[in-house]
Structure 1
Amino acid sequence: MTDPVPFAIPTRFAADPDRVALVIPGMGYSPARPLLHFATAALLQRGWTVQELWWRVPDDLGRLPLAGRASWVAEQVGHAVDAEGGACRLLVGKSLGTFAAALAADRSLPAVWLTPLLTLAEVAEPLRRAAAPALLVGGTRDDLWDGQVAAGLPHEVLEIPGADHSLEMDGDVVGSAAALGQVVAAMHDFIARV
């Protein structure tokens, strides 16, 4: 008897093979969650090939020093970018995935950073030196977002008043949906220009 075909979530959506965008999750925020799902949809609508990165975060990652966490993310993202053979032209990362900011700066890759960890030098410093365009999106109720740091960076910024680390409003589903709409519109516009 043959093994049944396992059900699997597609992780690659093909369009223009010369314009690949890598979608990078957070620690507990997969590419299937709303912000990254709609980032993928916006990219596809603009003709990009999308490669979603799905990872299993090591159990001890939270106990590693920040440099160790940044190194782990850079290794995962670096392998994924290298696998595209030069066709990766854009990164879209959420939270933990924004530790890839150093890689984006080093390789001059444009990026969309959703809830970047701006309170950490391991993310903020690479964003200061990044020459490629970037869109930074965060909420005023996110302890890991720093609006003053964001405003001082040479990138586009969308700050959502009252939004938390998931860019949602606590106890306000309609407000959360409206915030999602703002983020999707900003991503859609940014993607059209890179």
Structure 2
Amino acid sequence: MTFGGLPTRWEPDGTSRGTAIVAPGRAYPPSMPLLELARRALLQHGFAVQQIWWDSTTRGDEDPGTWVRRHVADAYADEQRRAGGADRVLLVGKSLGTRAAAYAAERGLDAIWFTPLLTEPEEADAIAANAGRQLLVGGLRDQLWDADVARRLAEGGCDVCEVADADHAMATPDAVRTAEIQLEVARAVGAFLAAL
């Protein structure tokens, strides 16, 4: 599978532990740093990776949650057909893609949420309702991250990687510090996947 000539699916070396479906952000495609780090970590830990590529400007007036859900549901159905319903599915979302949290909760899917929209109660409630293992990654300089909500979700069982000086891209104006943040996130993702 390709999107604009780019591959959208990767298989791990050896036996697969399942498939990760990657739902990107509004203007943060799967090739951007957080999702590329996640792709590499997922492959390293034995997961196939299926990326969703979208043009969020085509959403029109459709509710963002409904629009994301439709894309994720289609990818999930494709994976279930591919594996005969036996494959373990993990969801990975960035910002807009984290609107798949309710879909994940309905199925008890493990998930990694990069910069989830914790200032929106329905998103936080969906994460809280999920019986699957979840990793939340966010920064205190992100206006869509709520540290109190993150703490409550951690108390409810979510793993949380919170970086004091990171913005919505998990970055800062300083290139070296941004690279350090990416390393911290990569370690958190690796530890989460190793513990699944």
TM-score, with normalisation over the residues of structure 1? 0.90
Query: Between Structure 1 and Structure 2, whose CA radius of gyration is higher?
Result: 1
Counterpart of 1:187, as a letter, is V
Alignment partner, residue 130 of structure 1: 130
Counterpart of 1:125, as a letter, is D
Alignment partner, residue 191 of structure 1: 193
2-structure distance, mates of 1:165, 1:99: 15
Q: CA offset at residue 58 of structure 1? A: 3.3
Q: Where in structure 1 do 4 or more consecutive aligned residues deviate above 3 Å?
A: 58-61
Percent of aligned pairs sharing the same letter: 43
Could you tell me which runs of 5 or more consecutive residues in structure 1 were left unpaired when the two chains were aligned: 1-5
Alignment partner, residue 68 of structure 2: 73
Per-residue CA distance 1:118-176 (angstroms, 9 max, x = gap): 0012311101111111000100000000010011012111110111000001x211111
Counterpart of 2:183, as a letter, is G
Alignment partner, residue 3 of structure 1: none
1-structure distance, mates of 2:179, 2:125: 31
SS in 2 for 1:166: coil
Counterpart of 1:114, as a letter, is F
Could you tell me which runs of 5 or more consecutive residues in structure 2 were left unpaired when the two chains were aligned: none
Give the alignment of 1:1-194 within 5 angstroms.
8-15=5-12, 16-17=15-16, 19-59=18-58, 61=60, 68-85=63-80, 86=85, 87-153=87-153, 154=156, 155-169=158-172, 171-194=173-196
2-structure distance, mates of 1:58, 1:78: 19
2-structure distance, mates of 1:165, 1:145: 8
Per-residue CA distance 1:54-86 (angstroms, 9 max, x = gap): 11213454x65xxx1101101110110111113
Per-residue CA distance 1:78-103 (angstroms, 9 max, x = gap): 11011111324211110000000000
Q: Are the aligned partners of 2:140 and 2:165 in contact in 1 as well (CA < 8 Å)?
A: yes
CA RMSD of aligned residues (A): 1.6
- Cα–Cα, structure 1 residues 52 and 59, in superposed 2: closer, same or farther, change >3 Å? closer
1-structure distance, mates of 2:58, 2:108: 31
2-structure distance, mates of 1:160, 1:190: 16
TM-score, with normalisation over the residues of structure 2? 0.89
The more displaced of 87-96 and 143-152 is 87-96
The more displaced of 89-98 and 78-87 is 78-87
Q: Are the aligned partners of 1:42 and 1:187 in contact in 2 as well (CA < 8 Å)?
A: yes
The more displaced of 79-88 and 39-48 is 79-88
Q: Are the aligned partners of 1:70 and 1:122 in contact in 2 as well (CA < 8 Å)?
A: no
Equivalent residues, number: 184
